[in-house]
Structure 1
Amino acid sequence: MRKLLYGMNLSVDGYISAPGDDLGWSEPNDELFQWWLGEERAIELFLYGRRLWETMSSYWPTGDQQPGATPTDIEFARNWRDTPKVVFSSTLDEVDWNARLFAGDAVAEIARLKAGDGGPMRVGGAKLAAAAMRAGLIDEYTIVTHPVLVGGGAPFFTVLDSWVNLNLVETRAFPGGVVMNRYETRR
């Protein structure tokens, strides 16, 4: 059985983007970006909601060719292109960059993928992750908290029907007051 991971940058007040989909507050420093690259290299399948797909696919296919691209930018772009992806959307007609489109029951498809063989999968996008969270499919949460209050936007967490008990397995501080906490779901 594969592990399903959910991890993103978020504000102290729990948002992954500010109103208007503003992500400017979550710009990673070099150390944090290098850490995220290491995390992403371990993923065998990315699961994206439409909005996160549009954000990622608008930049990373050619991120290594941008003026001033750092070695980490270059490696992140290559890893992003090479890693298989499933994009969950009922409004898109097609996707590219080593991705396939899925328009059916997202929770059933994620459960099917999770039951298969292979390495870890990462779910991304607030709505898609919320559906997986409510269904009890997430095995690990990686919360990278930035020292900012944004006052609204897309929340990292969703409303749940019952408690989910977690075990803290790792904590790490990064420059600029950013803190990463990793939790495993207690089953």
Structure 2
Amino acid sequence: MRPLRYSINVTLDGCCHHEAGPPPDEESMRYWTEAMQRVDGLIFGRVTYELMESAWRRPASGTWPDWMDESEVPFAETMDPLRKVVVSSTLDGVDWNAELLTGDLGQAVQALKDEPGEGLFVGGVTLPLALADLGLIDEYEFLVLPTLAGHGPTLLSGLRERISLELVGRHEFRSGAVALRYRPAQPTA
């Protein structure tokens, strides 16, 4: 079974809007590139898919855009060829190595997890909440930024039931950011 990992940047006050924290630096881009290298599939909702596609899809020219920092190219080169599954009731079609997920969300994602492979990655805000409520997320990975946003979407806002987690990994960055990896805690007898 492929594990499903929810990974996202989050500010100290829980905001997970992509513009809430400081721009990524070389160290965080290397961290996220290595995280992408440990999966063979991405699951996105429509908003996250369109955001990622606009930033990280290789242009038809084959040349990465001028705005892209040298440290961002390996991340883009890692993400671009990965298989993407998009959950959307408004899109008629997708490309960029992507397919639309159809049918019951829980059953469809469980079927993806049951396929052989390295792992799956989900990002965004709305879709991970639904997957957490369904108990389908095997690991939570939060890169906590040393910033207070004061507004914006917050991490897993609206979760139906509390999920107890156990820390399985920690990485500190020179910037003061901390990556924390958790797995759902096993119930005690």
User: Match of 2:19?
Assistant: 23
User: Matched residues in 1 for 2:26 and 2:172: separation?
Assistant: 13
- 1:52-79 CA-to-partner distances (Å, cap 9, x unmatched) read 1111111211376112644432222221
Q: Does the 8 A contact of 1:37 with 1:72 survive in 2?
A: no
Secondary structure of residue in 2 paired with 1:182: strand
User: Match of 2:158?
Assistant: 159
**Structure with a larger share of its residues in strand:** 1
User: Matched residues in 1 for 2:140 and 2:39: separation?
Assistant: 14
Unaligned 5+ segments in structure 1 are none
The one of 16, 34, 40 equivalent to 1:38 is: 34
Matched-pair identity in %? 33
Q: CA RMSD in A?
A: 1.8
Letter in 1 for 2:85: V
Letter in 2 for 1:14: G
Secondary structure of residue in 1 paired with 2:86: strand
Change in CA separation of 1:154 and 1:107 when aligned onto 2, cut-off 3 Å = farther
Unaligned 5+ segments in structure 2 are none
User: Match of 2:49?
Assistant: 53
User: Matched residues in 2 for 1:122 and 1:54: separation?
Assistant: 16
User: Structure 1 residue 83 and structure 2 residue 90: aligned?
Assistant: no
Which residues of 2 match residues 1-187 of structure 1 at below 5 A? 1-17=1-17, 23=19, 25-62=21-58, 65-67=64-66, 69-187=68-186
TM-score when scaled to structure 2?
A: 0.88
- 1:144-184 CA-to-partner distances (Å, cap 9, x unmatched) read 11112222322222333433221111112112221111111
TM-score when scaled to structure 1?
A: 0.89
User: Matched residues in 2 for 1:32 and 1:183: separation?
Assistant: 18
Letter in 2 for 1:29: D
Change in CA separation of 1:26 and 1:134 when aligned onto 2, cut-off 3 Å = farther
Aligned residues: 183
User: Matched residues in 2 for 1:162 and 1:25: separation?
Assistant: 28
Shift of 1:109: 1.1
User: Matched residues in 1 for 2:154 and 2:20: separation?
Assistant: 16
| Higher deviation after alignment, 105-114 or 138-147 | 105-114
